[in-house]
């Protein structure tokens, strides 16, 4: 009888531990997927600015990554980087925030002082 009780208690502990660890793995997996979506959205926006010189439309970003908010900050570079523009892209969703930045060449309209 004691063996049966001990085996039942141990089995219960093992099942509880399995349930707790599965929950932890699930949360970590969700965090990783959210981080991957934020990185993809930020990188897409940065590549669009680098290659075409234009931003991806907000509607398109929401269609592709509905839970991700993307913002872009563009500033002209200082002294040693004259002729370049610093593009900083921030993508955020839930508890995840991804920031990517890159220097890109100024387009002729920006170099003349006009707004993009």
Q: Answer whether 0.95 is exceeded by the pTM.
A: no
**What pLDDT, on a 0 to 100 scale, did the predictor assign at position 79?**
80
Residue in this structure with the two tokens 């969700």, named with its chain if needed: 30
Q: What is the pLDDT of residue 111?
A: 45
Buried b (16+ CB within 10 A) or exposed e, 51-74: eebebbeeeebeeebeebebebeb
Cα distances (angstroms) measured from residue 112 to each of 17, 48, 88, 106 = 64, 21, 21, 9
Residue 35 has what pLDDT?
94
Q: What is the pLDDT of residues 24-40, one digit of tens each?
A: 788 889 999 999 999 99
Give, in degrees to the nearest 5, the angle at Cα 22 between 18 and 10. Answer: 5
Residue 14 confidence (pLDDT): 87
Q: Is the pLDDT higher at 14 or at 40?
A: 40
Task: State residue 108's pLDDT score.
Answer: 60
């Amino acid at each position: 009888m004691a063996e049966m009780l001990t085996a039942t208690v141990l089995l219960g502990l093992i099942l509880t531990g399995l349930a707790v660890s599965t929950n932890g793995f699930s949360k970590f997996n969700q965090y990783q997927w959210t981080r991957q979506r934020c990185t993809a959205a930020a990188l897409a926006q940065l590549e669009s600015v680098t290659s075409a010189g234009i931003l991806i439309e907000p509607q398109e970003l929401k269609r592709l990554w509905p839970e991700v908010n993307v913002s872009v900050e563009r500033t002209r570079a200082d002294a040693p980087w004259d002729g370049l523009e610093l593009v900083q892209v921030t993508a955020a969703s839930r508890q995840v925030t991804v920031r990517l930045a890159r220097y890109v060449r100024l387009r002729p309209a920006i170099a003349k002082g006009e707004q993009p």
